[in-house]
């Protein structure tokens, strides 16, 4: 059995090239490029998380504000065909003068 192993070793001698770098044979992206791409993805993720957090805080703060009361006359009312929600057309009164319509 030991003779079989020595015969196989003689058939396929190992090349004497020198040390092989770990990254030289590894398939895929180079580590420097992977770090740059990963860093950009991380920055985008942090930006989106910050925008979401700011939107959440502002939405919570907005829910505590009382509604604004305005003086006006309802000119018309319609129902939206897309969502079925009622819409009012209000003519705002400022110093008893018609100014513009609010939808």
Q: How many CB atoms lie within 10 A of CB 44?
A: 10
Digit-coded pLDDT (tens) for 10-50: 666 566 666 655 555 556 788 888 899 999 999 999 999 99
Q: Are 75 and 91 in contact (CB under 8 A)?
A: yes
Residue 18 burial (10 A CB sphere; 0-12, 13-18, 19+): exposed
Question: What are the residue boundaries of the structural domains of the chain, listed by start?
Answer: 18-65, 68-103
What pTM was computed for the model? 0.47
User: Residue 101's closest CA among 92, 58, 5, 35?
Assistant: 92
Residue 8: predicted pLDDT: 57
């Amino acid at each position: 059995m030991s003779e079989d192993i020595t015969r196989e070793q003689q058939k396929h001698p190992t090349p004497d090239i020198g040390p092989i770098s770990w990254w030289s044979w590894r398939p895929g992206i180079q580590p420097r490029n992977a770090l740059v791409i990963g860093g950009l993805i991380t920055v985008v993720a942090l930006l989106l998380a910050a925008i979401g957090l700011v939107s959440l805080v502002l939405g919570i703060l907005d829910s505590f504000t009382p509604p604004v009361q305005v003086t006006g006359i309802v000119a018309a009312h319609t129902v939206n065909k897309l969502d079925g929600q009622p819409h009012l057309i209000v003519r705002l009164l400022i110093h008893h003068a018609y100014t513009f319509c609010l939808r």
